[in-house]
Amino acid sequence: MTAKTLVFTSAALNYIPKVRMLFNSLREFHPEIELHLALSDLLPSDVDLSGEPFDEVHPIDTLGIDQWRPWAFCHNIVELSTAIKPFVLQKLLARPDVARVIYFDPDMVLFSRLDDMLDRLVEGDADVVLTPHQTDPDSSLRAVMDNEISSLKHGIYNLGFVGVRTADEGKRFAKWWGDRIYHFCRADIPNGLFTDQRWVDLAPAFFDGVRILRSPRYNVATWNLTTRLVTGNMNDGFLVNGQPLGFYHFTGFDSGAHHTMAQVNAGPESDIHLLVDWYKRETAALVDDPLSNQTWAFGQYSNGQRIKPIERVIYRERVDLQRAFPKPFDADGGYLQWLTHQAPIEYPGVGTGEPDAALDVLKAQLSVGFQGAA
């Protein structure tokens, strides 16, 4: 039996329309690959995903994450979609018929086959493959500030892509990554954290078999357009420094940042704008897709009240609150009452102090991670 290649991405229900674009491109260029969706959401009984272009769905409650509900409360939707990645990776690597597992961000699209990369994870010397944000130094001060300094803040390697072989070292990497992300998956650049990404800066130092893919055709994005010449069109295909475009990362597209930085880094005459305009047209109608309007399962308390970002942070930073209120989504479970002072109740094990006092914790040099009720 031939060992499989599995590809997965991670998203909530409302992002599945964009996931289709990634997976349809994978179906086109790699029909032999098995496709998986890691769902940072719950799967309601009335949502039918059987017609979607993936082979298997992994909702968060099927991943075996310890105390997953209060843990999920500590994350916003982007953080949670990122935080479940290493747990799905471990789950897929454990399957006996799998040779390698690849992760792609849901805002990526393939434009040619990736056999050169895939071969390194089986026939080559790679247990883990990563792509840097930049593979060539920038030459202008503006580009250094926009791109290289940004990499120093957010991470050298873009974790919109990672490939892992089902060897012992690959599995050891996945376990280590999951152990770190369980406690520290947050956007906290002043304290050296950017969700799952900054941790992997350490991977080449900690693990053998980590290989850096420097081909200009991989993970093309606005942060490396200053050193990569994109030519072509949608009919004939695109080349990057003369090589076929492998996959493009449409990061920051919804906010408009992608379009702005493409103009800055590639210039107004670049053929990259044909690609950007194509993605804009393809995604414009997705707002009308019923899945785009699905409510995230972890965005509100049980009474429908929206969870504010600071309320997640307070719970994440206060271990005593985690232990006193193991069901933070439950509007009648005490945490929301403690926050709003609606009930003058003394809770065993909860330290004194107003909710706003938790902001002082954020000023600490390094804050604690999720500890849970144990």
State pTM to two decimals.
Answer: 0.92
pLDDT at res. 91? 98
- Phi, psi angles (nearest 5°) of residue 130: -130, 155
Q: What is the pLDDT of residue 358?
A: 44
Of 20, 39, 42, 44, nearest to 83 (Cα)? 39
What's the pLDDT score for residue 350?
58
- Mean pLDDT taken over the chain: 91
Under the banding of pLDDT at 50, 70 and 90, the label for residue 371 is: confident
pLDDT digits (tens, 9 = 90+) for 322-339: 999 999 999 987 899 888
Fold of 4-288: Spore Coat Polysaccharide Biosynthesis Protein SpsA; Chain A (3.90.550)
The 10s digit of each residue's pLDDT in 287-326 is 889 999 999 999 999 999 999 999 999 999 999 999 999 9
In Å, how far from its chain's centre is CA 81?
6
**Helix residue spans in the chain (DSSP H):** 16-29, 68-73, 77-83, 85-93, 115-120, 141-143, 149-154, 168-183, 203-206, 257-266, 272-284, 309-317, 319-324, 335-340, 358-362
Residue 351: the pLDDT is: 55
Query: Which pLDDT does position 344 carry in this prediction?
Result: 47
Q: What is the pLDDT of residue 144?
A: 95
For residue range 85-134, list pLDDT tens digits in order: 999 999 999 999 999 999 999 999 999 999 999 999 987 889 999 999 99
Q: What is the pLDDT of residues 9-19, one digit of tens each?
A: 999 999 999 99
- 34-72 pLDDT, tens per residue? 999 999 999 999 999 999 999 999 999 999 999 999 999
Domain(s) labelled CATH 3.90.550.10 in the chain stretch across 4-288
Selection from 331, 312, 330, 329 nearest residue 370 by Cα: 312
